[in-house]
Amino acid sequence: MKLKQILKKKLMLGILKSSNRKNPFNIDKADNFQLLDSAGENMTDSHYFSAHNQSGESFFFRYAKRSNDTIEVWFCLKNSDGAIYVNNQELFQSKHCPASVKCITAGQSINLTFTGNVVLTQKGENDVLSLDKTSIPVKCEAHFQASMPPFDFTTGLDPTYIAEALSKERWTKTFWNNLRTNRQVHYEQAGVIELTIEMNNQKQVIVFSAMRDHSFGYRDWNYMNRHIWLMVIFEDGEILNLNMVDYPHMRNLMTGYQSVNGIHTSLKANSNLKELGKDGHVPETVIAPLTINQQEVELCGQREFAIDFSFEQGKYHIFEGVGTYTMNNRRGRGILEFGFNSDISRWK
């Protein structure tokens, strides 16, 4: 590392530590945050739940309120027989939204509901789902119960990794402005989801190991170049999370953590966006070398299916993949999320 970068890293590390001391994470405030319609352009309050079990069943749900009086809803359920159902409308006016998320006890329990229409799907090229035309009414209620403390990305990650990534960028006026603007509160928490669903004149209760993700603040999807999110729930209850994000002002941000028995440990990615999924879809196989507790391991993900979600009138696409994982002969299930700006020239 060159002397200039060493000095920049040291300075940035001091800035990050000072900011974390002044702005400690508060789960009560975060879980009870309410986004106002007058909050300003590109403000979002997003609740995301991802749930999986070792029987091959998966469920993910997103409830994202925007500051323009609209709510975005994702609903996806994969049954044990392999059938995959998704909602065929994503964006709703707030007063007509068929879904809800309600905090019961901060840091402990959340209820979510969805009463609307879903459709069956078929796998196409790169396992991306296409939607059937016949709508199926569904009523869903789910309860999330935490099993570990929350992990806050701002205060929980090892700031050394963030400082190193930021030290590689050019510190211009634009850099500092974008760093201040693109700020969010973002945290995750492991738990259990009990899902009760009524569909096709049948009522079913499914229990999953789960992860919830809550973020709120400024989000301009078209500002992002690319991103990757890998999330694994292992059979033994361990959680692993890896994020790689490419912003114009921050091209090399890679963060992640491991949660074991409620203890969160930052991890280091030994790969980058140039090496993982650069073809505009979720790769069939993802291999990500990592360093955890000074030990090198290899995380391997295998795609089952993916759904294409578009943002900003198609300017940014998220392919939400579901699949299986292995690491050190251990198995798990989870999410393989790959996001791409529609301007291919902005990809690495």
**pLDDT for position 263:** 95
Distance between CA atoms of residues 261 and 36, nearest Å:
36
Average pLDDT in the 55-68 region? 95
* Per-residue confidence (pLDDT) for residue 305, from 0 to 100: 98
What's residue 161's pLDDT? Answer: 86
Q: What is the pLDDT of residue 142?
A: 98
Amino acid at 311: F
How confident is the model over 209-260, as pLDDT tens digits? 999 999 999 999 999 999 999 999 999 889 999 999 998 888 878 889 999 9
Q: Give the mean pLDDT of 129-143.
A: 97
Phi and psi at 15, nearest 5°, equal -65, -45
User: Which pLDDT belongs to residue 295?
Assistant: 92
CA 323 to chain centre: 15
pLDDT tens, residue by residue, 183-219: 899 999 999 999 999 999 999 999 999 999 999 999 9
pLDDT in tens, 298-342: 999 999 999 999 998 899 999 999 999 999 999 999 999 999 999
Q: Residue 40: what pLDDT?
A: 79
Q: How far apart are CA 7 and CA 265, in angstroms?
A: 26
**What is the pLDDT at residue 297?**
95
Can you say whether the dihedral through the CA atoms of 17, 20, 22, 24 is positive or negative?
negative
Q: How confident is the model at residue 98 (pLDDT cuts 50, 70, 90)?
A: very high
Question: Cα–Cα distance between 109 and 147 in angstroms, integer?
Answer: 10
178 pLDDT band, cuts 50/70/90, is confident
Mean pLDDT of the chain: 94
Of 62-76, 82-96, 250-264, the poorest mean pLDDT is in 250-264
Tokens read off for 307: 């759904």
CATH of 24-346, one of 2.40.50.840, 2.40.370.10, 3.10.20.740, 1.20.1260.10: 2.40.370.10
Calpha distance 48→62 (Å, rounded): 4
Per-residue H/E/C for the chain: CCHHHHHHHHHHHHHHHHHHHHCCCCHHHHHCCCCCCCCCCCEEEEEEEEEECCCCCEEEEEEEEECCCEEEEEEEEECCCCCEEEECCCEEEHHHCCEEEEEEECCCEEEEEEEEEEEEEEECHHHEEEECCCCEEEEEEEEEEECCCCEEHHHHCCHHHHHHHHHCCCCCHHHHHHHHHCCEEEEEEEEEEEEEEEECCEEEEEEEEEEEEEEEEECCHHHCCEEEEEEEEECCCCEEEEEEEEECCEEEEEEEEEEECCEEEECEECCCCCCCCCCCCCCCEEEEEEEECCEEEEEEEEEEEEEEEEECCCCEEEEEEEEEEEECCEEEEEEEEEEEECCHHHCC
Token pair of 52, please? 């999986």
Give the pLDDT of residue 279.
84
Q: 67 falls in which pLDDT band (50, 70, 90)? A: confident
Q: For position 3, what pLDDT does the model report? A: 87
Q: pLDDT at position 90, please?
A: 95
Per-residue pLDDT tens digits for 336-347: 999 999 999 998
Integer CA distances (angstroms), 334 to 124, 209, 258, 260, 292, in order: 20, 10, 14, 16, 19
